Amino acid sequence: MSPAYAREVQDTQEIVLENKKVLVEKVHLAGLQRTKADYLAEDVKPLFKCESFLETYQLSLICKRKLMKKGIFKEVDVLIDTTAAYKDSSDEGIQVIFKVKERGSLCGEAKTEMSNTEKPRWLMRIISPNLFGRGESLSASFSHSLSSSSVLYQPTDFSIGFTKPYQNDANMQLLLLQQKEDCPWAQYDQTFRGFKTVFDFPLLGNQHSLEWQGMWRELACSNVGTAFEVRQQMGHSLKSSLLHTMVLDRTDDAILPKRGFHLKLTEEFAGLGGDVKFIKERLESSLHATLFQKITLGLGFQAGFLLPYGTNNKTCITDKFFIGGPLTLRGFETNSVGNETCGNFIGSNAFWMVGGHIYTPLPFYWSRFGRGSWLDNFRFHGFVNAGNAFDIDFKATFASNAENAKKDIRLSYGFGLVYKFMNAARFELNFCIPIKAQSTDRLCDGVQFGIGVSSV
């Protein structure tokens, strides 16, 4: 040790910062150009209540994460400094400086998107984040389903959306969209064009969403051999409906939870204008519990009904429920269970599905499970699925409708592999054995592969 350095060490004092009492006097947000400061004020205000250095440090990291989550910044750096440079500052005064770099006024992204009901699609989006300075974003996106038979590089779906976030994780969204979907189970394709206004807000710990939709639906046969019952419903209709969704999520993971309870209830009331009138209810729920830290038991239940009202009491095939699929009623082809004519499935106005699972880590990976490697995303599972799609006669008694629900239950069991893909989707490769089915159902006896988000 050189003499100069030794002298320096003697002069400096060791200060233990952890529990040092501090007073947060200033919080700076540097680098704001478009963003308005009052939009971020609520997120950083809690810092002023900090009393110790450690608390300040931890809370500032939480604030940094909140700021990044807003999606309007490229980078957020946190600096904690004393306020000694300012006059009238106290001895314990510190300041927290957030150095932010805003995203450009126009950004683009290209990705593949997955959702439960549709096949994967490629998507290109142009976003203008933070349009007016308070987190509003305007985006235009083009996408094309990878399974669609039309030319791959011509986008079939478009949407233009405007999102405005509010405090407390609420946000409002206005969306203008066109969406095309192929329905090979009934040999027709449908195009939805319309306008949506969505308002998401948390209430009592649950996420609620209120939506108004005005949709122009166009149905057209995709094949010369489409059954006549389906053909009769082709054409145009206008649906104007109000939707309410409530999500109660007490699980620890969106795709492969180990414990917890999840409930999603959707209500739709169609009939304020337009020529389609019905009330639709859908319930999705699941319950998971883990034993011995490795084995997870899961139970899922989904049900719904559709009640038309009004003068003609007719329902369109596009509003009806369909069951069957690699993630819902395994062992049966997608939407190929239930009422059928000439090989085309026409849907029903009520359904229920139940599934029981046992998840275990991969057989050769048992002992090392949970250590955080990528193999943790795989699970081996055994399942039992049951379900039924039937028509409720709203004029008949509850007992006779219950009879209908219990009659002709479909049942299947099997085992397979589940993969949690990037916290966004669920891949399943299963070996299914359907044991109870109707003669008109389309079975998927043997290996079945599926991608989706929610499952039974």
Partner 1 sequence: MSNLSFMQDAFMCQMAAAEPWPEDASLFRPPEGGQILIGENALSLGVEVYLRMCECSFKVVTCTNAEFMAPSGKLPVLLCGKFVISEPTPVINFMKQKGISLSKDLPESEQRDLKAYIEMINNILIPAELFVTWAHEETLTQITSVRYGSPYPWPLNKILCWRKKQEMLTYLEAVGWGKDQRSLATVQEELKRCCQALAQKLANKKFFFGQKPTELDALVFGHLYTLLTTKLPDNRMAETVQSFQNLVSFCKNIEKQYFGHKT
Partner 2 sequence: MELKCWGGDWGLPSLDIDCLSALTYAYFAKVPFEIIPSLPRNTITGTLPELKQSDFIYSRAFTIIGIFRREGYNVDYGLSEDQFANTLAYISYIEQKLRPAILYTLWLDSANYTKVTRPAFSKLCGFPYSLWYPSRIRHQIEQNVVICKGSRFLPKLSDIEKILYKEAWTCMNDLEHHLGSTLYFYGNSPTTFDAILYGHLGLLLKAPLSSTVLQNHLHACDKLKSFCLRMESFLPSEMSTSVKSSPLSEKEPFYKNDIVISVGVALAAMVCYALTSGVLTERHSKLAEKLGTVRSDDLSEIDDID
Q: Using CB distances below 5 to 8 A depending on partner kind, what does residue 231 bind out of partner 2, partner 1, none?
A: partner 1
For partner 2, the binding residue among 90, 168, 223, 293 (CB under 8 A) is 223
User: x/- binding map, residues 37-76, to partner 2, per CB under 8 A?
Assistant: ----------------------------------------
Nearer to partner 1, 34 or 231 (CB): 231
Q: Is 44 exposed, middle or buried (0-12, 13-18, 19+ CB in 10 A)?
A: buried
Burial 214-239 (b: 16+ CB within 10 A, else e): bbebebebbeeebbeebeebeeebeb
Stretch touching partner 1 by CB under 8 A, among 151-159, 224-232, 254-262, 418-426? 224-232
Q: Does 90 bind partner 2 (CB under 8 A)?
A: no
For partner 1, the binding residue among 202, 273, 310, 370 (CB under 8 A) is 273
Q: Does 342 bind partner 1 (CB under 8 A)?
A: yes
Nearer to partner 2, 184 or 274 (CB): 184
Stretch touching partner 2 by CB under 8 A, among 97-105, 106-114, 173-181, 221-229? 221-229
Stretch touching partner 1 by CB under 8 A, among 37-45, 131-139, 177-185, 216-224? 216-224
Q: Does 216 bind partner 1 (CB under 8 A)?
A: yes
Nearer to partner 1, 176 or 246 (CB): 176
Q: Does 177 bind partner 1 (CB under 8 A)?
A: no
Q: Does 176 bind partner 1 (CB under 8 A)?
A: no
For partner 1, the binding residue among 71, 120, 274, 356 (CB under 8 A) is 274
User: x/- binding map, residues 181-220, to partner 2, per CB under 8 A?
Assistant: ---------------------------------------x
Residues in the chain: 456
Task: Report how far residue 95's alpha carbon sits from residue 27's, in angstroms, rounded to the nearest whole number.
Answer: 6
CB 425 within 8 Å of CB 449: no
Binding site for partner 1 (CB under 8 A): 216, 219-221, 224, 228, 231-238, 273-275, 342
Binding site for partner 2 (CB under 8 A): 220-221, 223-224
